[in-house]
A and B are shown apart, each in its own frame.
Chain A
């Protein structure tokens, strides 16, 4: 079979980047297995795949963070190796990582200077930043300190840093996972301008609707191999997901909610203060979650979600005992254990390192929160046989792919660990479940299973609170939606009476906007 480059007419320019037979093996897993990829100048190319399919490994090799075991890489037609990220930048490859590497206490210019190999005088750099940011519509004040910036603005800093080096290939890893729909729309405009100027963009995302709107070609990875290529514009999100999974996707259905029951969680005038200057204090937050319903709280990260989660779990005790009422009992002064005994179960946003101990086995991780409501401890002694049985029940009931109850938590993929944690909490038959970012970074198959479990739990009579940045997810799950912005919570609206646009505006801080203005903002994707 001829390689794709050879099928082009002889006078066509060489592809910007061509990978041939790239293979990378890690101990115990083949991360990339003879991967071929061709990126043309000026295209926006999607790289699709479930968690663990090998997407990050592949882009890390392109950016010189990792090195292939075998295979060749051609840059504008010439064979090349990328020794390290500095070498990648010299070639003209830029990358915006999912997690930012910015110093809060430095200004935008200072942060950008730190990431450049040749920064030059600061005032000239500030001028260049201003120029680039105007040219691509990335509003940014070079003199501001990073801790003042919103997440979207922080991402702009990272993008501008790449653009200052005139990249010919820009790699973006899950860029919109932290943006409001409106911010994402702005980002897409920028990316389209860049592509029109000839820059190639390699785009990684789990959000298939986005990819359909933005990308002209897609390469699909599964278990380290290229399993297909597609024009996303000709596909549906469902067909793309099924390509990634290699199986049919079952989307959970949300049966109509019955009559909402009694309030299981009532939060009244909850305000917090923190010693941490970068924390977002909650300001007079009030809401309730009733039996049988799912309340979704939307919002861009850093608007008080972490503080709200800590106040609800009991990891931070409150001054006012009545600010949090669980099952009719004032819980503000109670710690996590006492709240669990009242019927609370809790799935934190950080799976590894809070929801589970990485080095411990699944049966020990089952004990971690299971001790409060399951008979796993007797007379101060751990009943290990019961903990094992409980872990096995979770593994079977929630289709967790793991090497039995002895597997260390860190050996599980993100989606499987999340299924385990959610299973551990749901099997305790909670009266109230609080979940943070239930499917962040989780692939479509596991996400569907998690969504179904949450809906089933609510329909069986529990109250469920979901705090998430993913609006698509909240619209699938929630009966009502509120938005958290700068520590304030908007009034909730029934999901069927609101739209993604309206919630998006609230996420940007436009509380109390007249509804007739909503129509002017079209949805990002």
Chain B
């Protein structure tokens, strides 16, 4: 008989739902400590330069917000779908399409812009992302095709489309054949919110997405339907909830939010359309959604943490000469520990042999 046992709890522990992400972070730091030590680095100094140093400067904090912005926008939309068992893996492609349509408008009205151009680009980006997400929605409902595969495959289509455009129609006519568009004019650029940083209006959109996502999930009847469909589809059928409508709604919504995120990147920190507009925000957002427990506020915190792993990894490369893969190692450890410690929500650990009552 073993000396460490898992004993089922009577019901899920509410405390543990919130405690396990913190536990996962703690375990990640501990493993990082051991890892750095084994590699011959001063572990405290390495962890400091990875997790603390970026937060000590205004520029670093600003970058944190800049990187968290698209993650939040994508992850909130994904989480709403995941709650309804709609597995949209295509945020990366929807983000790309949002950049193409939003940026396309900026180029189309180049030199004739006005105050109306930015709102138009936001709407255009949202529509672009939503249209891209509508394809897997239609294929699932019409042909019962798994949206996991179709949305994932459309990511590559979107990337190829972007490549074609920046090498062709979108290419800057005065750009010496570089695969980039013109730099956007001021009318097509998101205003900076925080002087001295690159934090732009998109951060506000992300906060609005958090608030709106929370309202949808926690207060509206649509949110209740999403919850029931996700937990027990048969009960949703019994209650008469329209599952097709929910598939459309969640995919279009997450596509639109990802599209806004893509538009925010090219109209914000990048300022033009290039061949690489995202370091994989759409994929990382999947981790963010689960790390944040599919809850908008949790997603906000998780996105900041993941953003920190992006810039911390860069900072550690520069300060300590650590390999670039360190970012991926930390993201992977975090997800690993989170999934592993989730068992504590339904089980408690008991030490010692099983007691046998006399």
Contact = CB atoms under 8 A, between A and B. Distances in A.
Interface of A: 23, 25, 27-28, 69-70, 313-315, 335-340, 346, 348, 350, 353-360, 364, 367-369, 371-372, 377, 380-382, 408, 411
Contacts of A381: 219-221
B234 A354 contact: yes
A318 to B, nearest CB: 15
Interface string B4-39: 000111110000000000000000000000000000
> Nearest 4 A-B pairs (CB), nearest first?
A336-B240, A337-B240, A28-B10, A354-B234
Contact of A27 (B10, B220, B234, B239): B10
Contacts of A356: 235
B238 interface: yes
A368 B228 contact: yes
Given A70-B357, A353-B234, A382 B239 contact: no
Interface string B240-265: 11100000000000000000000000
B237 interface: yes
Given A357-B231, A360-B227, A380-B222, A70 B238 contact: no
Contacts of A364: 224, 227
B358 interface: yes
B357 A353 contact: no
B338 to A, nearest CB: 20
6 contacts: A315-B237, A315-B238, A336-B239, A358-B231, A358-B232, A368-B238
Contacts of A408: 11
Contact of A70 (B222, B223, B235, B358): B358
Interface of B: 7-11, 219-224, 227-228, 231-232, 234-235, 237-242, 356-358
A336 B8 contact: no
Contacts of B223: 382
A255 B283 CA distance: 66
A381 B353 CA distance: 51
A339 B240 CA distance: 9
Nearest to A23: B357
Contact of B242 (A335, A350, A354): A335
A382 B219 CA distance: 6
Nearest to B222: A380
B71 to A, nearest CB: 28
Contact of A382 (B9, B11, B221, B237): B221
Given A27-B10, A336-B238, A336-B239, 14 more contacts: A27-B7, A335-B240, A348-B238, A353-B232, A354-B235, A355-B235, A356-B235, A367-B224, A368-B238, A368-B239, A372-B240, A377-B221, A381-B219, A408-B11
Contact of A354 (B10, B220, B238, B356): B238
Contacts of A338: 240
Given A360-B228, A382-B220, A369 B238 contact: yes
